[in-house]
Chain A
């Protein structure tokens, strides 16, 4: 094709020069005019050259639109519009402006060369491989789960065996409900049995139709309207931020409203997020039993119901990963079951964190957790183990000891655990001064320590940079992006990121603040490429100390010979450190009837 390039601009023609390079590669004939020619002269050249495409570039300022409009008019008057595409490009060009100016197409900020070339050649855009083949990825793929340091083998083996033996024959309303729910999912009418295992307000919801406070039942017409709206959206799933390398980028949602969650998901997908985590309201973990129906909730956290999960699932892009957290409440086994049934890819179970941060009673969560891990294994659902007790003040090595116990237990039960250490500025870190100089060394040390112990996937959470965010959006996006850069540099498998208003939203998070962070990440990944952060020598000594601490903690627990007592007695974090055994569901563990 004959292409005439016209920089209708006093100076700028760099985009045209880059495009020329690409077009020449594709075998087109390209004539590039010098910048700042008179439009009449350009029209005369068009008349002589008879190009099939005219490409005009211009940075838009006041008055530029008139020049571009006059140029189109001159071409029209000269009879040169027929059979010739006239394209305008420039940083501030939008499709609307191009239409207003009478051009056949307009390309603005963020345009890929391929889009322009595809338009010129009159063919659909060839998506780059990473977009075309953006497939779901298994975070656990390629990991052997071998213990790499023999010293850890015996204590972990002993502790896991003790937990399995202790849990056998024990039951709880949570485990019972999961069993009833499984019957219900296979078509048995067992609602009555289910309700018997629930407590208020869930009981009244089923028996008297009373909707809990601050909860609204969303009508079926609303749901179908919303689905129609979503179906009508042509939101592209943007190419993965890390463009098919590591880490996968996860976004947590839980605005309380499944519709708003859905919109946030679509926005984040378009901006390159790889996966999402479902967060439920905190009271969902404190009440026996789950509600049903599409439910919206006035406060943070989106209620776990079969219908809410189905709705969200129906909105997710094909390549999008989805995790439903189940790790810390009275409905842990049942949540894992629903997640698997609806088609989630991942779940989250950690009995140690779930029972030490003022949540569920350790005994109850241990029984429920073991059963939940068995379900995760049966349904082939990898589960991650967060160490959020660090945020309460527990030192990293103790939190990691708990995480490794649960991970090893998971392996014993045939499941695939994912380690989720925090990239955070925890109270312990602040008090001990580990991050006085930088945020890099200590976070690196944590990862190194884990990598020397076990060959397992690592997903930094949750969100990365926890406690380094402020109310200021630029700072917030930047700290997340830097932590993400560090995760990339360490070749972590996944990260979870916060929006820029996550820590201070004082209400629902806004989708624009989600874009803030995703954009910042894109820039950080672009900036770094394959370049690595270089920690100082302190990272190594931190790592040694963390590893030693983990081992010491595990040996102590193994010696104690009773994991449950270890939890109550503070071996995995004392009250002083901020680990308080939970009380919810205390005394609800029973012997199995069967």
Chain B
């Protein structure tokens, strides 16, 4: 089973839109399971009150979600088994889609829980597991094979800031894998001063996400270029998706507005050599990437 996570830098960066596109692309290439490390299925954003897209699943897909939210599903689901993995909505169940529709997702809420979900899914042998992200959370993605980074105007309207953050994340995700022997092993989330301290040594950290929890990405980016850092585990970054839309706060409430991210895209491609797409307009680009990297890899594995 290959797992793929959609990691957003903030709310409303387009995670669900990306996930739906990935689902459409992979459907037909083999069995898929889908879950979320947060909650998917609000009609309106908890904070802005603006409508949100929902996860749409087709017949045959496995859905890992909690029993307490299944009634909100417009897709017909059949319970295959119950798990003991707890969420705010009670324990998770494994469901199969009998007829397509929208599905509310409440999934594993931590790294450990995601590992348990992967373990439980083994007996159903899906080819792909898709994991939707939540808000700006990322740490559970240390346990997926591939990742798509979703960012955009909702994170910031300042292109410089967006570029800097995306660069730092891409840089961290590109760090080489390496074992702890003969190197300094630092466990847990890493603070910048610790990197400073070991500037002259080879360092091993648990995952790129253990580096990305700092608030100063500018310094982080500099250090990532300076310090020799290895990671124990990391997903492979497939691409960055850019969402130009964001909820603009106005006196009468929020409304949808947009920013032109064309120049950002150009810079990102130039500086970190990662494909960048606006999923709404360039879904076929995403399909190509998935076909060559994920589907190809799966075919190779079997």
Q: Which residues of A contact B (CB under 8 A)?
A: 40, 43, 47, 60, 62, 65-66, 69-70, 72-74, 76-79, 81-82, 94-106, 232
Chain B, range 12-48, C-beta contacts under 8 Å to A: 37-39, 42, 46-47
Q: Which residues on the B side are within 8 Å of A40 (C-beta)?
A: 189, 191
Docked Cα-Cα span, A47 to B38, in Å, equals: 24
- B46 contacts A102, C-beta separation under 8 Å: no
Min CB–CB distance B291 → chain A (angstroms): 31
Docked Cα-Cα span, A289 to B139, in Å, equals: 71
B112 interface neighbour in A65, A70, A81, Cβ under 8 Å:
A81
18 CB contacts below 8 A, A to B, read: A40-B189, A65-B47, A69-B137, A72-B137, A73-B189, A73-B213, A76-B140, A77-B139, A77-B188, A96-B39, A97-B46, A98-B88, A100-B38, A100-B135, A102-B38, A102-B137, A104-B88, A232-B71
Nearest B-chain residue to A69, judged by Cβ:
B135
B88 interface neighbour in A78, A81, A103, A232, Cβ under 8 Å:
A103
Min CB–CB distance B121 → chain A (angstroms): 20
Q: Is B110 an interface residue when CB atoms closer than 8 A count as contact?
A: yes
Q: Which residues of B contact A (CB under 8 A)?
A: 10-11, 37-39, 42, 46-47, 71, 86-89, 106, 109-112, 134-140, 187-189, 191, 206, 209-210, 213, 249
Docked Cα-Cα span, A97 to B46, in Å, equals: 7
- B46 contacts A94, C-beta separation under 8 Å: yes
Docked Cα-Cα span, A76 to B213, in Å, equals: 11
- A79 contacts B39, C-beta separation under 8 Å: no
Min CB–CB distance B149 → chain A (angstroms): 15
Docked Cα-Cα span, A96 to B297, in Å, equals: 36
Nearest B-chain residue to A97, judged by Cβ:
B46
Docked Cα-Cα span, A96 to B139, in Å, equals: 20
B135 interface neighbour in A65, A74, A106, Cβ under 8 Å:
A65
Min CB–CB distance A36 → chain B (angstroms): 15
A-B contact count (CB 8 A): 95
For the complex with contacts A81-B110, A98-B88, 7 further pairs of A-B residues with Cβ separation under 8 Å are: A62-B47, A66-B11, A69-B135, A77-B210, A82-B110, A100-B46, A101-B38
**Residue in B10, B86, B112, B136 whose Cβ sees the most chain A Cβ within 10 Å:** B136
Nearest B-chain residue to A78, judged by Cβ:
B188
- B110 contacts A76, C-beta separation under 8 Å: yes
Q: Which residues on the A side are within 8 Å of B187 (C-beta)?
A: 79
Once A73-B213, A74-B213, A76-B110 are accepted as A-B contacts, the answer to whether A102 and B47 lie under 8 Å apart by CB is: no
Q: Which residues on the A side are within 8 Å of B209 (C-beta)?
A: 73, 77
- B112 contacts A102, C-beta separation under 8 Å: no
Docked Cα-Cα span, A384 to B135, in Å, equals: 58
- B111 contacts A76, C-beta separation under 8 Å: yes
- B112 contacts A82, C-beta separation under 8 Å: yes
Docked Cα-Cα span, A47 to B191, in Å, equals: 15
- A100 contacts B136, C-beta separation under 8 Å: no
Q: Which residues on the B side are within 8 Å of A79 (C-beta)?
A: 187-188
Nearest B-chain residue to A79, judged by Cβ:
B188
Docked Cα-Cα span, A96 to B39, in Å, equals: 6
Min CB–CB distance B298 → chain A (angstroms): 28
- A73 contacts B112, C-beta separation under 8 Å: no
A102 interface neighbour in B86, B134, B189, Cβ under 8 Å:
B134
A78 interface neighbour in B38, B134, B189, Cβ under 8 Å:
B189
Docked Cα-Cα span, A162 to B110, in Å, equals: 81
Min CB–CB distance B28 → chain A (angstroms): 30
Once A43-B189, A66-B10, A102-B110 are accepted as A-B contacts, the answer to whether A73 and B47 lie under 8 Å apart by CB is: no
Nearest A-chain residue to B206, judged by Cβ:
A77
Q: Which residues on the A side are within 8 Å of B110 (C-beta)?
A: 72, 76, 81-82, 102
Q: Which residues on the A side are within 8 Å of B191 (C-beta)?
A: 40
- B88 contacts A95, C-beta separation under 8 Å: yes
Docked Cα-Cα span, A100 to B8, in Å, equals: 13
- A106 contacts B88, C-beta separation under 8 Å: yes
Q: Which residues on the A side are within 8 Å of B37 (C-beta)?
A: 102
Q: Which residues on the A side are within 8 Å of B134 (C-beta)?
A: 69, 100-102
Nearest A-chain residue to B190, judged by Cβ:
A77
Q: Which residues on the A side are within 8 Å of B46 (C-beta)?
A: 65, 94, 96-97, 100
Q: Which residues on the A side are within 8 Å of B11 (C-beta)?
A: 65-66
Docked Cα-Cα span, A49 to B4, in Å, equals: 35
Min CB–CB distance A590 → chain B (angstroms): 57
Nearest B-chain residue to A107, judged by Cβ:
B88
Min CB–CB distance B147 → chain A (angstroms): 15
Min CB–CB distance A577 → chain B (angstroms): 53
Nearest B-chain residue to A61, judged by Cβ:
B47
Q: Which residues on the A side are within 8 Å of B86 (C-beta)?
A: 104
Docked Cα-Cα span, A78 to B110, in Å, equals: 12
Docked Cα-Cα span, A96 to B71, in Å, equals: 14
- Give me the 8 closest cross-chain CB pairs, A-B, nearest first: A99-B39, A100-B39, A76-B139, A77-B189, A100-B38, A102-B109, A69-B135, A81-B110
Docked Cα-Cα span, A47 to B189, in Å, equals: 12
Docked Cα-Cα span, A94 to B138, in Å, equals: 21
Min CB–CB distance A97 → chain B (angstroms): 5
Q: Which residues on the B side are within 8 Å of A74 (C-beta)?
A: 189, 213
Docked Cα-Cα span, A486 to B300, in Å, equals: 79
Nearest B-chain residue to A60, judged by Cβ:
B47
Q: Which residues on the B side are within 8 Å of A105 (C-beta)?
A: 88
Once A65-B135, A82-B112 are accepted as A-B contacts, the answer to whether A96 and B188 lie under 8 Å apart by CB is: no
Nearest A-chain residue to B104, judged by Cβ:
A96
Docked Cα-Cα span, A82 to B85, in Å, equals: 12
- A77 contacts B213, C-beta separation under 8 Å: yes
Q: Which residues on the A side are within 8 Å of B189 (C-beta)?
A: 40, 43, 73-74, 77-78
- B111 contacts A81, C-beta separation under 8 Å: yes
Once A72-B137, A100-B135 are accepted as A-B contacts, the answer to whether A62 and B112 lie under 8 Å apart by CB is: no
- B42 contacts A96, C-beta separation under 8 Å: yes
